[in-house]
Structure 1
């Protein structure tokens, strides 16, 4: 179920100048000193159940390879906590195992960044964070910010998949008597049914559609995001790479005909990162078997770099 640190993924150039480190020279196995902890979720099960293109189980390794040669500008440590691997269709067991590992990392003072895997990663990530916060607060004010072309709010009653994690989280919050605070940025109206938009409205989801996310609207979106975050004590950031245009992210289960460019998403992620409330982040849906020139892996690596830049 779990794989540990694999140093063969962390390879790259070594420059002769002083202070020229790259990620592959700094990433280490998990140690006691708090730091960023990269944790893979090698799963295709949710994508298969959702009738998508399988291959996301190889995403964590591809993101690590793309990260390896990026320039190092951090002050604190970064660890590789290995992978939680989904065997066959045992999705629920894998999500539970991911939750346990995320909880362990949070309890040790680390900031987990989970590398998917299909977007079923979100329910496993949330389980770990919920366990961690629930032991400390009766009703934690946790906000979920999802950059995604899809709401992933499909009814999980029949089958859970990569299309149901936030509906599952909403149900779990109701059972716990916790508020459900969810923002979905980059949603494609062409890819989400009217039923899903109605469900999002009933749940009070903050929505910004892909076609409304432009340079001219970025300031207003940032203000909306500030208001959303002001009502939260903790934040969970999740990025489905299919929010990016297909030219930037061809290697996903469902490439976006329009999408929202990395140029627009990155400053919003920096805003979330700098809020001081971010407790957990994950990325989903990288499918290396459909990637072109590692474009999607490079975009994912850039996002991890941005999230953990401090």
Structure 2
């Protein structure tokens, strides 16, 4: 099911000084003839989390992110749009993923930067399908780099159950079917949260891996070099951020809180490097669960990341 922009979530203070607008004052509903900008679209689903036996509640994530983004200061030059939500009806995950993919194609065709607000990380397969459909119209073998900031590979076997733990194995299969290269980097991996079988699958698929314990401020220059080297092999980039990559103290409101995680202070310059590459076509944020979000910490982090991703627009 799809819904349009809900203006009631876009609320905040209005300052009297000139040039003091905030997101809630500048966000617009998406129209067919809108000039290119960033386009927010929600994926209100936790069916994949339920199938993966995680903590239910991520379906409320898109609203929470919008509410946290609404009062943030506006620094963009280009417009920003709210394209509404795609909602998953019960366990109808595959139908919801197909709907989101179909909604993303015209956004990409129109030159927008879509930012999908999840929802469980099952959103990644839907995001990919939309991007792949868009690119397939113009190119026979595009080199798409997938950068996943995540404690988990999400490469589990999808032959029997598709969930929030399977999107990148689904994408790998789709790339094989299309004859496209599979370029996947997973940054922030927790060894304790991924089985040896998943590490083996990642190795077989030639995944770029950086574990959480190796992602600290002293290693930032090396990490940035590695990310730039990965991006140099790609024509387009898809960035997906599972908020459980962050430490539980910074992001308590997720399906699977991280015992260690990677700090926001480190993630931000990496995201800026990706943003400023000129290759970013699509981004999404996943796994915000407002039911467990102490003082709205995770929603505030998610909103800050949306703000960061759109600062150069």
User: What is the TM-score normalised by the length of structure 1?
Assistant: 1.00
The answer to whether residue 260 in structure 2 is matched with residue 258 in structure 1 is yes
The equivalent of 1:106 in structure 2 is 108
Matches within 5 A, 1:1-310: 1-31=1-31, 32-310=34-312
CA shift, 1:107, in A, is 1.0
1:21-63 Cα offsets, whole Å, 9 max, x none, are 0000000101321110000000010000000000000000000
Distance 1:286 1:279 in 2: 22
Distance 1:215 1:34 in 2: 35
Please state whether the residue corresponding to 2:163 is helix, strand or coil: coil
CA shift, 1:109, in A, is 1.5
Distance 1:80 1:69 in 2: 15
List gaps (5 residues or longer) in structure 1.
none
RMSD: 0.4
Aligned length: 310
Distance 2:109 2:89 in 1: 26
CA shift, 1:152, in A, is 0.2
CA shift, 1:97, in A, is 0.3
CA shift, 1:205, in A, is 0.4
CA shift, 1:111, in A, is 0.8
Please state whether the residue corresponding to 1:122 is helix, strand or coil: helix
Please state whether the residue corresponding to 2:295 is helix, strand or coil: coil
Please state whether the residue corresponding to 1:84 is helix, strand or coil: strand
Query: Runs of 4 or more off by more than 6 Å in structure 1?
Result: none
Distance 2:109 2:219 in 1: 39
List gaps (5 residues or longer) in structure 2.
none
